[in-house]
Structure 1
Protein backbone atom coordinates (compact mmCIF):
# COMPACT_ATOMS: atom_id res chain seq x y z
CA UNK A 1 0.00 0.00 0.00
CA UNK A 2 1.27 3.49 -0.85
CA UNK A 3 1.59 5.92 2.04
CA UNK A 4 2.59 9.49 2.79
CA UNK A 5 6.09 9.52 4.24
CA UNK A 6 6.92 13.18 4.87
CA UNK A 7 5.87 16.82 4.72
CA UNK A 8 7.57 18.82 1.97
CA UNK A 9 6.01 22.26 2.36
CA UNK A 10 3.35 24.18 4.21
CA UNK A 11 1.65 27.08 2.44
CA UNK A 12 1.05 30.59 3.73
CA UNK A 13 -1.21 32.91 1.71
CA UNK A 14 0.28 36.38 1.22
CA UNK A 15 -0.95 39.49 -0.59
CA UNK A 16 2.50 40.76 -1.64
CA UNK A 17 5.02 38.04 -2.41
CA UNK A 18 8.02 40.41 -2.55
CA UNK A 19 7.16 41.82 0.88
CA UNK A 20 6.70 38.25 2.18
CA UNK A 21 10.13 37.19 0.89
CA UNK A 22 11.69 40.22 2.58
CA UNK A 23 10.03 39.27 5.87
CA UNK A 24 10.66 35.53 5.82
CA UNK A 25 14.17 35.70 4.33
CA UNK A 26 15.27 39.10 5.60
CA UNK A 27 13.67 39.36 9.05
CA UNK A 28 13.34 35.69 9.98
CA UNK A 29 16.54 34.55 8.23
CA UNK A 30 14.98 31.78 6.13
CA UNK A 31 16.79 30.73 2.96
CA UNK A 32 15.01 31.17 -0.38
CA UNK A 33 15.05 27.87 -2.26
CA UNK A 34 12.68 28.51 -5.16
CA UNK A 35 11.06 31.48 -6.89
CA UNK A 36 9.35 30.52 -10.12
CA UNK A 37 6.52 32.04 -12.17
CA UNK A 38 3.26 30.20 -11.62
CA UNK A 39 0.58 32.10 -13.57
CA UNK A 40 -2.10 29.52 -12.73
CA UNK A 41 -1.72 30.66 -9.08
CA UNK A 42 -1.80 34.33 -9.99
CA UNK A 43 1.82 34.90 -9.00
CA UNK A 44 4.91 32.84 -8.24
CA UNK A 45 5.75 29.63 -6.41
CA UNK A 46 8.17 30.71 -3.70
CA UNK A 47 9.66 28.36 -1.13
CA UNK A 48 11.69 29.48 1.88
CA UNK A 49 13.07 27.38 4.70
CA UNK A 50 14.46 27.90 8.19
CA UNK A 51 18.14 26.88 8.37
CA UNK A 52 18.41 23.15 8.96
CA UNK A 53 14.72 22.41 8.36
CA UNK A 54 13.57 19.70 5.97
CA UNK A 55 10.14 21.32 5.59
CA UNK A 56 9.76 24.47 3.48
CA UNK A 57 7.25 27.31 3.64
CA UNK A 58 5.52 28.16 0.34
CA UNK A 59 4.59 31.87 0.11
CA UNK A 60 1.49 31.57 -2.06
CA UNK A 61 -0.59 34.35 -3.60
CA UNK A 62 -3.65 34.92 -1.41
CA UNK A 63 -6.96 34.23 -3.09
CA UNK A 64 -10.64 33.99 -2.30
CA UNK A 65 -10.14 30.31 -1.60
CA UNK A 66 -6.98 30.90 0.49
CA UNK A 67 -7.17 34.35 2.11
CA UNK A 68 -4.30 35.90 4.03
CA UNK A 69 -4.54 36.94 7.67
CA UNK A 70 -5.24 33.45 9.00
CA UNK A 71 -4.09 31.34 11.91
CA UNK A 72 -1.68 29.10 10.01
CA UNK A 73 -1.24 26.59 12.82
CA UNK A 74 2.46 26.46 11.87
CA UNK A 75 4.78 25.98 14.80
CA UNK A 76 8.48 26.74 14.48
CA UNK A 77 11.16 25.87 17.03
CA UNK A 78 14.16 27.76 18.35
CA UNK A 79 16.91 27.05 20.83
CA UNK A 80 16.18 30.27 22.76
CA UNK A 81 12.60 31.54 22.66
CA UNK A 82 13.31 34.55 24.90
CA UNK A 83 16.18 35.76 22.70
CA UNK A 84 14.19 35.29 19.49
CA UNK A 85 11.19 37.03 21.03
CA UNK A 86 13.39 40.02 21.94
CA UNK A 87 15.00 40.14 18.47
CA UNK A 88 11.68 40.00 16.62
CA UNK A 89 10.20 42.63 18.93
CA UNK A 90 13.20 44.90 18.32
CA UNK A 91 12.78 44.38 14.56
CA UNK A 92 9.19 45.64 14.77
CA UNK A 93 7.51 42.27 14.27
CA UNK A 94 4.01 41.99 15.77
CA UNK A 95 4.72 39.52 18.60
CA UNK A 96 2.59 38.51 21.54
CA UNK A 97 3.77 37.91 25.08
CA UNK A 98 6.45 35.32 25.76
CA UNK A 99 4.66 32.55 27.66
CA UNK A 100 6.68 30.75 30.31
CA UNK A 101 4.91 28.06 32.32
CA UNK A 102 6.32 25.44 34.63
CA UNK A 103 7.04 22.21 32.72
CA UNK A 104 6.24 23.69 29.29
CA UNK A 105 8.79 25.06 26.80
CA UNK A 106 8.71 28.88 26.49
CA UNK A 107 6.62 29.96 23.50
CA UNK A 108 5.04 32.92 21.73
CA UNK A 109 3.11 33.74 18.62
CA UNK A 110 3.69 36.44 16.03
CA UNK A 111 2.21 37.74 12.82
CA UNK A 112 3.76 38.27 9.40
CA UNK A 113 3.02 41.49 7.44
CA UNK A 114 -0.27 39.98 6.19
CA UNK A 115 -1.44 39.17 9.72
CA UNK A 116 -0.90 35.42 9.34
CA UNK A 117 -0.37 33.95 12.82
CA UNK A 118 2.69 31.76 13.39
CA UNK A 119 4.00 30.14 16.57
CA UNK A 120 7.43 29.56 18.10
CA UNK A 121 8.37 27.23 20.94
CA UNK A 122 11.71 26.48 22.45
CA UNK A 123 13.15 23.15 21.38
Structure 2
Protein backbone atom coordinates (compact mmCIF):
# COMPACT_ATOMS: atom_id res chain seq x y z
CA UNK A 1 0.00 0.00 0.00
CA UNK A 2 1.28 3.46 -0.91
CA UNK A 3 0.04 6.48 1.04
CA UNK A 4 0.84 9.91 -0.37
CA UNK A 5 -0.52 12.06 2.46
CA UNK A 6 -2.86 12.05 5.42
CA UNK A 7 -6.35 12.69 4.07
CA UNK A 8 -7.90 14.00 7.26
CA UNK A 9 -7.03 13.82 10.96
CA UNK A 10 -9.89 12.93 13.30
CA UNK A 11 -10.69 13.96 16.89
CA UNK A 12 -13.47 12.48 18.96
CA UNK A 13 -15.62 15.13 20.64
CA UNK A 14 -18.57 15.02 23.03
CA UNK A 15 -20.59 17.66 21.14
CA UNK A 16 -19.94 18.47 17.48
CA UNK A 17 -21.63 21.90 17.66
CA UNK A 18 -19.56 22.92 20.71
CA UNK A 19 -16.39 21.65 19.01
CA UNK A 20 -17.16 23.64 15.85
CA UNK A 21 -17.72 26.73 18.01
CA UNK A 22 -14.30 26.24 19.68
CA UNK A 23 -12.37 25.62 16.48
CA UNK A 24 -14.01 28.46 14.54
CA UNK A 25 -14.55 30.97 17.35
CA UNK A 26 -11.50 30.46 19.56
CA UNK A 27 -8.93 29.17 17.09
CA UNK A 28 -10.24 31.07 14.07
CA UNK A 29 -10.41 27.99 11.83
CA UNK A 30 -13.07 27.54 9.16
CA UNK A 31 -15.69 24.87 8.55
CA UNK A 32 -14.68 22.87 5.46
CA UNK A 33 -17.54 20.38 5.39
CA UNK A 34 -20.68 19.76 7.45
CA UNK A 35 -22.97 17.05 6.04
CA UNK A 36 -25.38 14.39 7.21
CA UNK A 37 -25.07 10.81 6.06
CA UNK A 38 -27.20 7.72 6.54
CA UNK A 39 -30.86 7.65 7.39
CA UNK A 40 -33.15 7.45 10.38
CA UNK A 41 -31.77 6.60 13.82
CA UNK A 42 -28.43 5.60 12.27
CA UNK A 43 -27.91 8.98 10.57
CA UNK A 44 -24.58 10.59 11.28
CA UNK A 45 -22.86 13.90 10.75
CA UNK A 46 -19.44 14.50 9.20
CA UNK A 47 -17.85 17.82 10.17
CA UNK A 48 -14.41 19.01 9.04
CA UNK A 49 -12.60 22.19 10.10
CA UNK A 50 -9.19 23.56 9.20
CA UNK A 51 -6.94 26.59 9.54
CA UNK A 52 -7.78 29.31 7.01
CA UNK A 53 -5.47 29.24 4.00
CA UNK A 54 -4.36 25.67 4.69
CA UNK A 55 -5.32 22.39 3.06
CA UNK A 56 -5.26 20.65 6.48
CA UNK A 57 -8.55 19.08 7.56
CA UNK A 58 -9.66 17.90 10.99
CA UNK A 59 -12.83 15.82 11.34
CA UNK A 60 -14.79 16.27 14.59
CA UNK A 61 -16.53 12.98 15.35
CA UNK A 62 -18.61 11.62 18.21
CA UNK A 63 -16.68 8.99 20.21
CA UNK A 64 -16.89 5.54 18.66
CA UNK A 65 -15.85 3.72 21.84
CA UNK A 66 -15.63 5.27 25.27
CA UNK A 67 -14.91 8.90 26.06
CA UNK A 68 -13.99 11.74 23.71
CA UNK A 69 -10.53 13.26 23.61
CA UNK A 70 -7.00 11.95 23.71
CA UNK A 71 -6.00 12.78 20.13
CA UNK A 72 -3.16 14.99 18.95
CA UNK A 73 -2.16 16.74 15.73
CA UNK A 74 0.54 19.22 14.78
CA UNK A 75 0.10 22.36 12.71
CA UNK A 76 2.77 24.79 11.53
CA UNK A 77 2.84 28.56 11.84
CA UNK A 78 5.39 31.09 10.60
CA UNK A 79 5.33 32.89 13.99
CA UNK A 80 4.85 30.73 17.10
CA UNK A 81 5.07 33.67 19.53
CA UNK A 82 2.39 35.74 17.77
CA UNK A 83 0.13 32.68 17.45
CA UNK A 84 0.58 31.87 21.15
CA UNK A 85 -0.36 35.41 22.20
CA UNK A 86 -3.37 35.50 19.87
CA UNK A 87 -4.68 32.19 21.24
CA UNK A 88 -4.12 33.31 24.85
CA UNK A 89 -6.06 36.51 24.10
CA UNK A 90 -8.88 34.41 22.62
CA UNK A 91 -9.10 32.40 25.86
CA UNK A 92 -7.64 29.14 24.56
CA UNK A 93 -5.99 26.76 27.02
CA UNK A 94 -2.36 26.87 25.88
CA UNK A 95 0.81 25.30 27.25
CA UNK A 96 4.16 26.99 27.74
CA UNK A 97 6.45 27.18 24.70
CA UNK A 98 9.18 24.58 24.42
CA UNK A 99 11.92 23.61 21.99
CA UNK A 100 13.61 26.12 19.77
CA UNK A 101 17.12 24.83 20.45
CA UNK A 102 19.12 22.97 17.84
CA UNK A 103 17.03 20.96 15.41
CA UNK A 104 13.91 20.99 17.65
CA UNK A 105 11.46 23.70 16.48
CA UNK A 106 9.77 26.01 18.97
CA UNK A 107 6.25 24.77 19.76
CA UNK A 108 3.38 24.88 22.23
CA UNK A 109 0.16 22.96 22.75
CA UNK A 110 -3.49 24.01 22.69
CA UNK A 111 -6.04 21.78 24.40
CA UNK A 112 -9.60 21.67 23.11
CA UNK A 113 -12.58 21.29 25.48
CA UNK A 114 -12.57 17.48 24.96
CA UNK A 115 -8.90 16.98 25.85
CA UNK A 116 -7.49 16.73 22.32
CA UNK A 117 -4.14 18.47 21.70
CA UNK A 118 -3.11 20.69 18.83
CA UNK A 119 0.67 21.20 18.74
CA UNK A 120 1.53 24.52 17.12
CA UNK A 121 5.03 24.25 15.64
CA UNK A 122 7.31 26.93 14.19
CA UNK A 123 7.54 26.41 10.42
CA UNK A 124 11.08 25.93 9.20
Post-superposition, which runs of at least 4 consecutive aligned residues in structure 1 deviate over 6 A?
none
| 2:28 counterpart residue number | 29
Change in 2 beyond 3 A, CA 1:116/1:42: farther
**Residue-by-residue CA offset, 1:6-45 (whole Å, 9 max, x unaligned):** 2210101010111111111222122211111245876410
Partner of 1:60: 61
Please provide the CA RMSD for this pair.
Answer: 2.1
TM-score (norm 1): 0.84
Q: Any gaps of 5 or more consecutive residues in structure 2?
A: none
CA contact (8 A) 1:108 1:121 kept: yes
Compute the TM-score of the two structures, normalised by the length of structure 2. Answer: 0.83
How far the C-alpha of 1:51 sits from its partner, in A, is 2.2
**Bigger strand fraction:** 1
Q: How many residues align?
A: 120
